[in-house]
Amino acid sequence: MPANFRAELVACFGQPVAENPTGAMQEAAFRALGLNWRYLTVEVTPERLADAIRGVRAFGMRGVNLTIPHKVAVIPLLDEIARDAAVIGAVNTVRREGDRLIGENTDGKGFLRGVRVDAGVDPKGKRAIVLGAGGASRAIVTELALAGVSDLVVVNRSVEHAWHMAEELSAKTNREIQCQPWRGVYRVPGDTDILVNATSIGLFPDVDGMPPVDLRDAKSTLLVCDAVFNPPETRLLAAARRRGLPVLDGLSMLVYQGVIGFKLWTGEDAPEDVMKNALREALGIER
């Protein structure tokens, strides 16, 4: 049988992307399964996004990840948007189906899988508070609403922005989403079951940042989650650990959204442990 030197291509488009470690875990997964696939990390400016998507079509690429600032701008450039991505209003993963490019969103699903698998918590019937109203928040809030939480509150400095998001997602998920202003230090209510930092506070290189929250009223079972993956031990999670609270770091969300994306692209079950270890190695984190 003649050799086949043509690799299947996937990529990440964003600006900036130099510190995005997704390629390390996806390449490790391809090697583990013996797949001749390559993951490219490509800096794409907003004005060149349409050209980049045309390149995906021209090169016959199998898919791409989208990161800041392209998750919303890419939508009109695609042939179809999956239902959950349409509800969220953002796309972070594109898969090829024949000649068509289909937008998906794996961020919220990755977060939810981490909550269920790594933290061992079923969100159904729980009271959840999400800090922030940006792109990560939209995905997380949507998936928590669809998972059947009993109460869902978005806390944000811009109340108007939070209300706009909450009203839109409430209509799409048929679940009530409340909003509260973030004025000074936010005191987390004692009946909260899940607290999620969906802001970028604490993200490298500003590792000394911590969301201004007060955990003194937290019950012992409060699960404190952070969407920030670098560093995985943020100041928020460290503060929660000191109180003996269970925590879930952003590496969980990053790995599982990648696991879901791998399956969408290749049709194969992803080697989760390989991907987790590759990500930790790429970020210089001890296992």
Q: Point out the residues that are catalytic.
A: 71
How distant, in Å, are the alpha carbons of 35, 43, 107, 202, 278 from that of 65?
19, 12, 11, 23, 18
The upper half-sphere exposure of residue 127, i.e. CA atoms within 13 Å in the direction of its Cβ, equals: 11
Q: Both tokens of residue 58? A: 């021209």
Pairwise CA distance, residues 25 & 23, whole Å:
6
For the chain, how long is the longest CA-to-CA vector?
67
- φ and ψ at 51, to 5 degrees? -60, -40
CA–CA distance, 46 with 72 (Å, rounded to integer): 11
Q: Is the dihedral of CA 15, 17, 20, 24 positive or negative?
A: positive
Q: How far apart are CA 120 and CA 115, in angstroms?
A: 6
Q: Is 280 helix (H, G, I), strand (E, B) or coil?
A: helix
75 near 103, Cβ under 8 Å? yes
What type of residue is 130? Answer: V
Residue with tokens 């209509």: 171
- Quick check: 66 and 92 in contact, CB under 8 A? yes
For tokens 């701008």, the residue is 73
What 8-state DSSP symbol labels residue 243? T
The length of the chain, given as a count of residues: 287
